[in-house]
Structure 1
Amino acid sequence: MWNEKYSAEHYIFGTKPNDFLAQNFNVFTERNILCLAEGEGRNAVFLAKQGYTVTAVDASLAGLDKARKLAAENNVTVEFIHDDMEKYDLGNEKWDGIVSIFFHIPGNIRRELHRKVVVGLKNGGVMLLEAYTPEQQKYGTGGPPTADSTMAADLMMTAELLTQELKGLQFSHILELEREVVEGTDHSGTAAVVQVIASK
């Protein structure tokens, strides 16, 4: 599915970084950042332009091709890795920061990934996340592409869920809110989101 979506000539989520990341990237006081399910590269390229050492993982070859092109156009270096996030090894105390922007996977897989996030962060490392909440289903301005509302809800997140799944981190910011999201053609309009900044 994602290879097909990312095969579009344009960048479906745009080339500018996610607003929440752009406003808060300075929470990463050290250099080594991992971007989960990075897609077409906009957030990884933004972080590289700020001077961070960035690794970006995605399962879509089409997305990574566009991400590499975007990095080249911006004269930055990003390590792009083709892998399934369910299988990718985040390591042990390896990352100064981990970024997850609108990355929606089934709850059982997500819980295991978030366990690996906590293990993979260095002491003092920071997780920054923005995701849709189940309330997003009433807006239709982006989010997991499924007509099954129960399945869609399982792919989305709440503050309560994230507090449980990222146990072991200290939350400096955790908030559910409605905000305008304008990110390319596939995320545009009022959205129900949850935001997290949490450190180990």
Structure 2
Amino acid sequence: MWDERYSGAEFAFGTEPNDFLREEFTRIPAGGRVLCLAEGEGRNAVFLAEQGYQVTAMDLSEVGLRKAEQLAKDRGVTITTEVADLAEYEFGEDKWDAIVSIWAHVPKTIRQHIHAQIIPALKTNGVFILEAYTQQQLEMEAVGGPPASEKERFGSLATLQAELAELEQVVGVEKRRIVSEGKRHQGLSAVVQFIAKKIAKMQVGFY
């Protein structure tokens, strides 16, 4: 499906970065290593590379990542791409200064697989940045988000807080906002925005 969606000359979600990421990217340690999940045609990865980050864009679609590489070349930056399935992808340990998840709507089991890896994969002071549609999107007239038949793919703040409780929450909100990203994401939308940080464990001493 995604190869077909990305096969046209037009970028399905545009070439500009996600608004939330644009507003909040400075929370990522300067010059750090960033992993962009389900990055598609690369707009967010390329934006971060333009800000001086070392970016790896992973996605299931080889077609999408080829467009990401071309977009990076056109913008005069370099990104690393990895064709991979999130259901099997291994994040590594103590590797990333940020992990970015923008509209990565996956089934519950895959989501839990992802969330279980985020804490060990982040370096100390690394951040997880996410924006996703919530189930309230089904009540909106906007374009975007999973279909009603796949409700488990929607995000929620409660789920993020529960599954990533070991991280220090920096931003956590469910809200409605205008989204304008290519033809695939348009209109007043119901979203969850979440940023959390991995802090150093306190050293306990006995004196």
**TM-score of the superposition, structure 2-length normalised?**
0.92
The 5 Å alignment of 1:72-83 reads 72-83=73-84
Q: Partner of 1:105 in structure 2?
A: 106
Find the structure with the greater CA-based Rg. Answer: 2
Where structure 1 has 5 or more consecutive residues not aligned to the other structure, the ranges are none
Match among 169, 192, 196 for residue 198 of structure 1: 196
Q: Partner of 1:114 in structure 2?
A: 115
Amino acid at match of 2:185: H
Amino acid at match of 2:16: K
Q: Distance in 2 between matches of 1:44 and 1:109?
A: 22
Residue pair 2:172, 2:192 contacting (<8 A) in 1 also: yes
161-170 vs 10-19, greater mean Cα deviation: 161-170
Residue 167 of structure 1 and its aligned partner are, at CA, apart by 2.2
Amino acid at match of 1:143: G
Q: Distance in 1 between matches of 2:148 and 2:192?
A: 21
Q: Partner of 2:10 in structure 1?
A: 10
Q: Partner of 2:145 in structure 1?
A: 143
Residue 108 of structure 1 and its aligned partner are, at CA, apart by 1.4
**TM-score of the superposition, structure 1-length normalised?**
0.95
Q: Distance in 2 between matches of 1:38 and 1:165?
A: 22
The 5 Å alignment of 1:24-173 reads 24-30=24-30, 31-139=32-140, 140-144=142-146, 146-148=147-149, 151=150, 153-173=151-171
Residue pair 2:20, 2:131 contacting (<8 A) in 1 also: yes
Residue pair 2:86, 2:110 contacting (<8 A) in 1 also: no
- CA deviation vs aligned residue, 1:98-121 (integer Å, no higher than 9, x gap): 100000000111011111112211
Q: Distance in 2 between matches of 1:159 and 1:80?
A: 29
Residue 147 of structure 1 and its aligned partner are, at CA, apart by 4.6
The 5 Å alignment of 1:182-197 reads 182-197=180-195
Q: Distance in 2 between matches of 1:168 and 1:122?
A: 14
Amino acid at match of 1:141: V
1:23 is paired with a residue of what secondary structure? helix
Where structure 2 has 5 or more consecutive residues not aligned to the other structure, the ranges are 199-207
Q: Distance in 1 between matches of 2:52 and 2:110?
A: 32
Aligned residues: 196
Amino acid at match of 1:159: L
Q: Distance in 1 between matches of 2:148 and 2:106?
A: 15
Amino acid at match of 1:155: R
6-15 vs 133-142, greater mean Cα deviation: 133-142
Moved over 4 A (4+): none
Q: CA RMSD in A?
A: 0.9
